[in-house]
Amino acid sequence: MAGLKTYYYLYVIFFLSITTNGGMAQRSSSQAVKGAYWPSGAASTFPPSAIDTRLFTHLYYAFLIPSNVTYRFEVSNSTAQLLKNFTSMIRKKNPQAKTLFSVGGGGVDPAIFSQMALSSFSRKSFIDSSIEVARTYGFDGVDLDWESPQDPKDMENLGLLLQ
């Protein structure tokens, strides 16, 4: 097994499913989600082929950011290649692992999300573009990493977006 240094570039996250059995909460390791964010900026030093996919149930491509005007993803040719490489390599190494692309991240101006979620038109544009990216590049889903809704209106609009 590789040492921790190998996983330097993977931001690891763990979620545990809780089941109840006669009122007693139990942790079920077979239902645990073991995920990691792969930062696309590390592609030259830590390519997707270096990920030990046996350790994870979910792998997240980090990050895509929608346009702050159209709220659609404008994927450059180089990013398109990274996206294709990420999903195809994960599928090849572990067909059971789920791939998701993460939108946002801690360094993104929360105003982009606030404006995107503000109207039904901008939400639809974002949602349609998310579906297009997922289908085009073979992702199983999307991880919305809107880290800081700023006020109750943002929270309400986040609810509308998720709905």
The distance of Cα 145 from the centroid of its chain, to the nearest Å, equals 7
CA–CA dist 122, 69 (Å, integer) = 9
74 in active site: no
Q: Which residues 6+ apart lie within 8 Å of 123 measured at CB?
A: 71, 116, 117, 157, 160, 161
CA–CA dist 81, 85 (Å, integer) = 6
74, 132, 147, 156: the catalytic one is 147
Evaluated on CA atoms 106, 131, 80, 121, the torsion sign reads negative
Contact of 141 with 134, CB cutoff 8 Å = yes
Q: Give the catalytic positions in this structure.
A: 147
